[in-house]
Chain A
Amino acid sequence: MSKDVVADLKRDHISKLVAKGMRADGRKFDELRPLKIETNFIGSAEGSARVHLGNTEVVVGVKLILGEPFPDTPNTGVLTTNAELIPMASDTFEGGPPDQESIEVARVIDRGIREGHAVDMEKLCITPGKEVWIMFVDVHVLDYDGNLFDAANMGAVAAFNSAVVPAKRAGKGEDFPLPVMHQPISVTAVKIGGKLLVDPTHDEERVAEARLTVATIEDGNLCAMQKGLDGSFTMDEVFQVVDMSRRIGAEVRSKM
């Protein structure tokens, strides 16, 4: 109950700031929070990254194990993305099997890296139809201050860049770097009082009317999108978010 009272005050405060062209943390509407990425953070993973996006903190681990391909894609490895919104990260997260929220996060990240061809999955095939590498991308959220989509996406891409396929351990020849093809970067914006704010904090997400995530690759092409929340966007607003995503995506990519 008390949470809703605070949310009302916050809603008021944030909306008033937005009307004046300001944000609570002093950022511009189209400005990303400070981004810090530390790769190879987890020695027990084949690739990993610890990401701080403002106060949001996630750890992404990539594990590769041998397995069977799906019958309809006998020549490609298997990509499995999983997000754990553990109760450590927020008082609103609960333990237990993945809920709708963590499934959406996992699926949006999965779509970005799958459709953006972050990894050449065909190179993860060992014997067509028989044996391939199964790549697990596990997102572990430690501190939740909004915009999990982008923090986790950037963490996954950074983890791929540092990942090594453990072929030797599995008796399949020499280890080799994960065959990375593209760097799909997602950028999320929310709509508050008719304005578009990039990289929302947790408070901004709570008062947002609508949310749009757009992922782009190096040439500026789009590879994945997801609209969320019950509000709406006009066509112009969608194009604005696409523009911002392309610009910020290029900036983030240059730092990877």
Chain B
Amino acid sequence: MGGTPTDLKMIDENGRRLDGRLPNEMRPLKIEAGVLKRADGSAYVEWGLNKVMAAVYGPRECHPRHLQNPERALVQCHYNMASFSVDDRKRPGPDRRSHEISKIISEALTNVVFTEYFPRTSIDVYIEVLQANAGTRCAGLTAASVALADAGVPMRDLVASCAAGKVADTVVVDLAKEEDNFGQADIPVGYVPRTGEIVLLQMDGDLTQEQFNKGLHMALDACKNVYEVQRDALKRRYSARASDAELASEGEGGDKREVA
């Protein structure tokens, strides 16, 4: 971030970016819900070259106990990068960056979870970055929302997340690694499409007010796309389950559950 543009040409004559995308074009996004057996809910996200797994345990007993809130559940996110997820091996364990990301993702998710339904408990969200290529906090938050829904945690809506940024004086969406490293600004956003609320927002770099306006608009549009992919992942997961249940009950009108 903040590095001066090098010999890399971030935007070519045709307005295409390093990987051929247009400024408002996202990297390919794939989400799969319910991929782990032990976790109460889980989701796997491949977003460009990012590979991120999210798992949810809870609501369950809150540890350490002094964190318990007698009125609400605590949403505790733990963001972690695998040592092999980046080019230079990362030392295992949390660092200051991952602590900060864990905190802001916890706060974004707390906003949409009906925490008052589960006093004194903890809802633990684990985000594991297996392969990183810029935008892992957005991929992690996106995966975590789907994992929470997969765990059956009552929520007002999913949080969809995507970043905007600036490369070669052009406002673009969903920065890839080179764009993040040599770009001029980065704005990760977490958005609640149903209510239009922004629940995660960071920015670093240099932007004019106009560029920021444009970037935020582009990020929210991208979040709406992310939201569709999230919903689709959950639908696929539960239509598969519903047809399993129908087979099992052999037309006896087995229990039908609303999942939305």
Contact = CB atoms under 8 A, between A and B. Distances in A.
Interface string B23-44: 0000000000000111100000
A71 interface: no
B132 A44 contact: yes
B38 A63 contact: no
B82 interface: yes
B251 interface: no
Contact of B124 (A62, A87, A89): A87
Contacts of B88: 65
Interface residues on B, range: 20 to 34
Given A59-B130, A91-B57, A140 B82 contact: yes
A45 B53 contact: no
B38 A144 contact: yes
A42 B130 contact: yes
Given A59-B130, A95-B78, A138-B92, A89 B38 contact: yes
A92 to B, nearest CB: 9
A191 B225 CA distance: 52
Nearest to B51: A42
A61 interface: yes
B37 A55 contact: yes
Contacts, number: 86
B226 interface: no
A57 interface: yes
Interface residues of A, number: 31
B93 interface: yes
A26 B44 CA distance: 29
Nearest to A94: B63
A143 B39 contact: yes
Nearest to B83: A138
A41 B84 CA distance: 11
Contacts of A65: 88-89
Contacts of B53: 88, 142
B83 A142 contact: no
A66 B128 CA distance: 27
Interface in B68-95: 78, 80, 82-89, 92-94
14 contacts: A44-B133, A61-B83, A65-B88, A86-B80, A86-B126, A87-B78, A87-B124, A91-B38, A91-B57, A95-B94, A97-B93, A140-B82, A140-B128, A143-B36
The 3 nearest A-B residue pairs measured at CB: A61-B84, A88-B126, A45-B84
